[in-house]
A = this chain, B = another copy of it.
Amino acid sequence: MRILSLEIRVVLVEPMYQGNVGSVARAMKNFGYSDLVLVNPCELEGQARAMASHARDVLEGARITSTLEEAVRGADLLVGTTGASSLKTGEHIRLPLYPAREFKEKIKEYSGTIAVLFGREDNGFNNDELKSFDMLITVPTSEIYPIMNLSHAVSIVLYELSELEGGNNPLAEGFDLQLLYGHLDELLEEIDYPAHKKDKTSLMLRRILGRAGLTPREVQTLRGIIRKTERKMGFATEAENLQKVEDSESTEKFI
């Protein structure tokens, strides 16, 4: 039975600088990958380990092969990475060239093992290598200086491929936001905000707060500020009465 998952293998072809190999190991672990294969690498000693930092397990677990064929054995799709600038020569070999982000869209429905290959720091891949790949991808860069450091290129490709989403900021619920907006409108009334400007200003406040993406705690704090302001102005509002319990139970506790 075929396991339905997408495995990513990183293959470095004849990397020349051990610091880069260590940095690649680190970037892999940062994005949750560990399958590293090195084809005829440079010597790997102290500097590789130093740059790998806490990804020494990935570095030490790397498989070393003497040929590209061995390195990609068992992989279902061979994806080479290349700089867009190298397109000027041998276009028939290299095209089409997908940006890493588009590549991710193309493969997201698939399962299997994808070997993502990176060439030598100085000369990339030779033509025979390029011909053996199923797809070519690139990281879009400035035309003025398109040649990225090897580990940076690996890092960006893995960043794109990883499904890590991060950022779990809970947004305030729409209902609470409406209460806040209503409360702000009430304040505009209370401070005798000019009638002809009130609607536009009310809308502007909604826009500002809307795009700030308020958290529940922030909504509570903002309403607390408005309540205290109303109290200071001598207004005891309906909102205040309704909110008294909440005030002592939640706002005080959270802020």
Residues of A within 8 A of B (CB): 19, 23, 26-27, 29-32, 51, 53-55, 84, 95-99, 102, 106, 138-142, 144-149, 151-152, 155-156, 159, 162-167, 169, 187-188, 190-193, 197, 200-201, 204, 208-209, 211-215, 218, 221-222, 225, 228-229, 231-233, 255
With A23-B152, A204-B218: A97-B169 Cβ-Cβ less than 8 Å: yes
CB distance from A223 to the nearest CB of B (A): 12
Name the one of B30, B97, B214 contacting A141, with C-beta atoms under 8 angstroms. B30
Q: Are A149 and B213 in contact (CB under 8 A)?
A: no
Q: Are B55 and A191 in contact (CB under 8 A)?
A: no
With A145-B55, A208-B214, A228-B192: A138-B155 Cβ-Cβ less than 8 Å: no
Chain B residues lying within 8 Å of A222, measured Cβ to Cβ, are 208
With A97-B167, A99-B167, A155-B152: A142-B30 Cβ-Cβ less than 8 Å: yes
Nearest-neighbor residue (CB-CB) of A27 within chain B: B152
CB distance from A231 to the nearest CB of B (A): 8
Whole-angstrom CA separation of A46 from B233 in the bound complex = 65
Q: Are B255 and A200 in contact (CB under 8 A)?
A: yes
CB distance from A4 to the nearest CB of B (A): 19
Nearest-neighbor residue (CB-CB) of A57 within chain B: B145
Nearest-neighbor residue (CB-CB) of A198 within chain B: B255
With A169-B97, A191-B232: A30-B145 Cβ-Cβ less than 8 Å: yes
Name the one of B138, B149, B166 contacting A26, with C-beta atoms under 8 angstroms. B149
Chain B residues lying within 8 Å of A23, measured Cβ to Cβ, are 149, 152
CB distance from A8 to the nearest CB of B (A): 13
Q: Are A167 and B144 in contact (CB under 8 A)?
A: no
With A29-B142, A144-B29: A255-B197 Cβ-Cβ less than 8 Å: yes
Whole-angstrom CA separation of A213 from B102 in the bound complex = 11
Could you list 6 A-B pairs, sorted by A, with CB under 8 Å? A32-B144, A187-B225, A190-B232, A191-B229, A201-B225, A211-B213
Chain B residues lying within 8 Å of A215, measured Cβ to Cβ, are 95-96
Q: Are A167 and B140 in contact (CB under 8 A)?
A: yes
Q: Are B149 and A27 in contact (CB under 8 A)?
A: yes
Q: Are B228 and A191 in contact (CB under 8 A)?
A: yes
Name the one of B55, B188, B200, B232 contacting A225, with C-beta atoms under 8 angstroms. B188
For A141, A166, A204, the residue with the greatest tally of chain B CB atoms inside 10 Å of its CB is: A166
